């Protein structure tokens, strides 16, 4: 289907399952941290819609409530996230029905999002101090279906806030193994925002260069620079498992790194005794090795963010556990 989601949602209340996956508007980037907006209104709209769900007895009813009260009045950031991660209102309604207690707790666990903007701007300013060529983008917090903590569109940073709603009081009995492993509290929010900001500052990979190694450096490099900025690593649970097994992980990665079989390294759900997204860990270790080895730290950050020759960067890092 070739109809952009904006043509479906904006002109009229069309069927909620008609969603396309087309890109958004032209890129809008800013030279200063203060120019970027931090938008949380979609989270409030979701909570208003969620209060109506108990009176929606069927999946169809729930989807209509979400469409009318969350999708249709949503921001452009929400529309981008719908296209990229959430999908139809039926899909979101189904997830809420699978995890009702967790979603019901979100108004409590995410209650501080409205005052998080100064912390995000402080992170942006620290990044600018490390990398003066930095550009910035608007940040949108939305509620999704527990499949993405963050992504980018052409001109926005998009954060799935429900992935940061697992405070100490959050119910966990409904969660599957992957959710229990990856859901965090709001203490990780600034780190994920800065991680996604790294992608805005990276050079897009040419298609021929999109190998497992290149993707690892892209994602793990974003983790590393975000950690320099915030002191937090969004994949610290992966590091906790992989650190004691670094040589074993590297040997397996090295055998796969020049190919394009991403399944065991990115966006996977993990396996028995093995966490997902181990490619982030290896890319982080390569980026850290390059940074530690370089006498010019600012230049090293530029190479991590802007370099497109992954084999050359690996060689320059000297990484070899």
Backbone angles phi, psi at 288, to 5 degrees: -65, -40
Check residue 23 and give its pLDDT. Answer: 34
User: CA–CA separation, 274 vs 249, rounded Å?
Assistant: 11
Any long-range contacts for 158-161 (C-beta under 8 Å, 24+ apart)? 158/77, 158/80, 158/81, 158/84, 158/85, 158/196, 159/189, 159/192, 159/193, 159/196, 160/81, 160/85, 161/40, 161/43, 161/106, 161/110, 161/113, 161/189
Read off the pLDDT of residues 171-228 as tens digits, 9 standing for 90 and up.
Answer: 999 999 889 989 999 999 999 999 999 999 998 877 656 899 999 999 999 999 999 9
Mean pLDDT of the chain: 90
Check residue 205 and give its pLDDT. Answer: 74
Edge-first strand order for the sheet with 150-152 is: 38-39, 138-142, 156-160, 150-152
On the CB side of 250, CA atoms within 13 Å amount to 13
Helix (H) or strand (E) holding 266: none
Check residue 263 and give its pLDDT. Answer: 86
Task: Over range 120-149, report the average pLDDT.
Answer: 96
Read off the pLDDT of residues 241-268 as tens digits, 9 standing for 90 and up.
Answer: 999 999 999 999 999 999 999 988 997 7
Of 95 and 270, the one with more pLDDT? 95
Of 123 and 272, the one with more pLDDT? 123
End-to-end CA distance of the chain: 48
Whether residue 24 contacts residue 155, with contact meaning beta carbons closer than 8 Å, is answered with yes
| Three-state secondary structure call for residue 252 | helix
Sequence spans of domains, the chain: 25-200, 204-317
Percent of the chain with pLDDT over 90: 81
Our CA angle for 307, 312, 315, nearest 5°, is 125
DSSP structure class, residue 187: G
List C-alpha distances in Å: 306 to 203, 222, 247, 252. Answer: 5, 11, 27, 26
Whether 292 has a pLDDT exceeding 50, the answer reads: yes
pTM: 0.88
User: CA–CA separation, 246 vs 43, rounded Å?
Assistant: 39
User: CA–CA separation, 184 vs 160, rounded Å?
Assistant: 11
Read off the pLDDT of residues 293-307 as tens digits, 9 standing for 90 and up.
Answer: 999 999 999 999 998
Check residue 268 and give its pLDDT. Answer: 72
Check residue 167 and give its pLDDT. Answer: 97
User: CA–CA separation, 286 vs 9, rounded Å?
Assistant: 43
Whether 15 has a pLDDT exceeding 50, the answer reads: no
Read off the pLDDT of residues 69-115 as tens digits, 9 standing for 90 and up.
Answer: 999 999 999 999 999 999 999 999 999 999 999 999 999 999 999 89
Any long-range contacts for 292-301 (C-beta under 8 Å, 24+ apart)? 293/317, 293/318, 297/130, 298/130, 298/131, 298/132, 301/130, 301/131, 301/225, 301/228
Whether 17 has a pLDDT exceeding 50, the answer reads: no
Matching residue, tokens 């959430």: 86
Read off the pLDDT of residues 39-56 as tens digits, 9 standing for 90 and up.
Answer: 999 999 999 999 999 999
User: CA–CA separation, 37 vs 187, rounded Å?
Assistant: 20
């Amino acid at each position: 289907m070739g109809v952009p989601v904006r043509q479906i949602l904006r002109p009229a209340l069309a069927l909620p399952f008609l969603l396309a996956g087309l890109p958004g508007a032209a890129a809008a980037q800013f030279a200063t941290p203060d120019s970027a907006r931090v938008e949380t209104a979609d989270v409030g709209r979701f909570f208003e819609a969620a209060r109506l769900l108990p009176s929606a007895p069927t999946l169809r009813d729930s989807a209509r409530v979400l469409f009318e009260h969350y999708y249709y009045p949503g921001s452009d950031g929400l529309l981008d996230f719908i296209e990229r991660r959430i999908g139809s209102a039926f899909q979101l309604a189904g997830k809420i029905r699978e995890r009702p207690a967790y979603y019901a707790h979100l108004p409590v666990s995410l209650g501080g999002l409205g005052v998080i903007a100064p912390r995000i701007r402080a992170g942006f300013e620290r990044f600018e101090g490390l990398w003066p060529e930095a550009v910035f983008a608007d940040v949108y917090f939305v509620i999704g279906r527990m499949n993405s903590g963050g992504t980018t569109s052409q001109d926005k940073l998009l954060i799935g806030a429900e992935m940061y709603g697992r405070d100490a009081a959050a119910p966990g009995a409904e969660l599957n193994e992957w959710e229990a492993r990856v859901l965090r509290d709001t203490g990780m929010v600034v780190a994920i925002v800065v991680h996604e900001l790294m992608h805005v500052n990276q050079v897009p990979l040419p298609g021929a260069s999109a190998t497992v190694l290149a993707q690892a450096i892209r994602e793990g490099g974003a983790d590393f620079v975000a950690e320099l900025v915030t002191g937090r690593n969004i994949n610290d649970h992966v590091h906790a498992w992989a650190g004691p097994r670094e040589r074993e992980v590297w040997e397996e990665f090295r055998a796969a790194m020049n190919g394009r079989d991403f399944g065991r390294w990115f966006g996977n759900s993990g396996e028995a005794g093995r966490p997902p997204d181990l490619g982030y860990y290896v890319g982080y270790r390569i980026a850290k090795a390059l940074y530690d080895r370089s006498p010019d730290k600012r230049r090293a950050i530029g190479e991590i963010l802007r370099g497109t020759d992954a084999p050359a960067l690996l060689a320059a890092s000297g990484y070899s556990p």
